[in-house]
Amino acid sequence: MYEVYGVIGDPVSHSLSPIMHNLAFKEKNVKAVYGAFKVRPSDLAKAVEGIRALNIKGVSVTIPHKEKIIEYLDEIDEIAQEIGAVNTILNKEGILKGFNTDWIGVLKAFEENGVKLKDKKVVVIGAGGASKAVIYALIKGGAKKIYVYNRTFEKAKLLEKKFKITAKPWEELKKADGDIIIQATSVGLKSWETPVGEEIISRFKVAMDIVYLPLKTKFLSLAERYGKIIDGLQMLLYQGVEQFKIWTGMEPPLELMKKAIYEEAKNLEKEILK
Ligand code: NAP
């Protein structure tokens, strides 16, 4: 019998998770299929009941449900609790447990690019759901100073309180500087926009964008003139690797998954930007 896995979110039509996980299941001879389920915010409670009723074995959780889903699950892993967001559910004999693997995705992406976070001054733009995992990773990686800038200042303030970092008003972004800059807003997703201009970007030696469609965002295109760039697909890949381990206890085929999602992202990019 085949087991069922999937991603819930809204939108999910461009999710690369089905490609990545179905490939890994096949390669590791796991009898399972992974689908994409569009779930509107108002249907989230019903969707969780559906996971239980249909005995769906594992679920990836994406925008906009990562925070809200916590109240519907039976158990939350300690780190996911600390971050305040869940991107992975494991269904273990009817008990739904939430985990967060996004932060590992961020850490691994830096590691794989040979960028050390220890003692670095890091600027994070954006204070949405994904920023929490980004900031948690930076703290775990030993960053010395973390500044978060957000259009809605109150949300940056909440992160300041939660993680003991420094919130900065959006208007001060033009004065930002440091070692590493991370673009964690949704600006530039399926569009050619950046929340910060070249003058600011040029002050950093490393730039990461967590948006991955297009693969090389406008932000990254400007940043590559001044230093190393890290695209958002790397975070997606490594958070997916950790999900697969949680669900199956197996090491997934990393290189195959990587190749498949980069190919698909390039195809989608052509479709989106034409
Ligand atoms: P979210 O909770 O909706 O937060 C969106 C963030 O973008 C907020 O900080 C918001 O500011 C900011 N923003 C939106 N429009 C803006 C604008 N015009 N100008 C300035 N700031 C703007 O979303 P999220 O879950 O944090 O996700 C953010 C992005 O990361 C998404 O595009 C998502 O695709 C990507 N992501 C990638 C990965 C990966 O694996 N690579 C994982 C998770 C998410 P306000 O607070 O002022 O509204």
**Ranges of H-type helices in the chain:** 17-27, 44-53, 78-83, 102-112, 129-140, 153-163, 198-201, 218-223, 232-248, 254-273
In CATH terms, is domain 3-100+236-255 a member of 2.40.50.180? no
Q: How far is CA 63 from CA 21, 67, 169, 173, in A?
A: 18, 9, 25, 26
CA of 54 to the centre of ligand 1 (A): 31
How many Å apart are CA 102 and CA 235, to the nearest integer?
A: 7
CA of 141 to the centre of ligand 1 (A): 22
How many Å apart are CA 185 and CA 122, to the nearest integer?
A: 15
Nearest-CA residue for ligand 1 atom 35 is: 211
Ligand 1 neighbour 70 (Cβ under 6 A)? no
Q: What is the DSSP letter of 172?
A: G
Mean pLDDT for the chain overall: 97
Superfamily of domain 103-233: NAD(P)-binding Rossmann-like Domain (3.40.50.720)
Residue 271: per-residue pLDDT:
79
Exposure string (b/e) for 94-110, b if CB count within 10 Å is 16 or more?
eebbbbbbbbbbbbbbb
Q: How confident is the model at residue 92 (pLDDT cuts 50, 70, 90)?
A: very high
Give domain limits for the chain. 3-100+236-255, 103-233
Q: Are 181 and 162 in contact (CB under 8 A)?
A: no
**pLDDT tens per residue across span 5-38:** 999 999 998 899 999 999 999 999 999 999 999 9
Ligand 1 neighbour 237 (Cβ under 6 A)? no
**pLDDT tens per residue across span 95-107:** 999 999 999 999 9
Query: Is 165 labeled as ligand-binding?
Result: no
Identical fold for domains 3-100+236-255 and 103-233, yes or no, is yes
Ligand 1 neighbour 151 (Cβ under 6 A)? yes
Number of other residues whose CB lies within 10 A of the CB of residue 177: 12
Does pLDDT of 40 surpass 90? yes
CA of 125 to the centre of ligand 1 (A): 9
Ligand 1 closest atom vs CA 105: 40
């389920």: which residue's tokens? 37
